[in-house]
Amino acid sequence: MKPTQVALAWLLSKPGVTAPIVGASKPPHLDEAVAALDLRLDAAEITSLEELYAPHAIRGHQ
């Protein structure tokens, strides 16, 4: 399992995300992205991934 696959699996676990944009420049990148569809993160894994994240304001917006 690669970090990009974990990132895509996490993104796909979010409500409302139905089609993340994947920038694959080489065929193996696309294969890795497709493999992320089979990866399911449990609640503990998602919590672990999110625990150090500190939301911040988007630059240029108020």
Check residue 45 and give its pLDDT.
96
pLDDT greater than 90 at residue 60: no
Query: Who wins on pLDDT, 57 or 50?
Result: 50
Q: What is the pLDDT of residues 3-56, one digit of tens each?
A: 999 999 999 999 988 888 888 899 999 999 999 999 999 999 999 999 998 888
% helix, strand, coil for the chain, step of 5: 50, 0, 50
Check residue 19 and give its pLDDT.
82
56 within domain boundaries: no
Domain extent at residue 27: 3-13+21-50
Check residue 50 and give its pLDDT.
94
Total domain count, the chain: 1
**Residue 33 amino acid letter:** A
Q: Kindly give, in sequence order, each residue whose CB lies less than 8 Å from that of residue 39, ignoring residues fewer than 6 positions away.
A: 1, 5, 6, 8, 9
Check residue 16 and give its pLDDT.
86
Residue whose entry in the numeric block shows the structure tokens 């503990």: 44
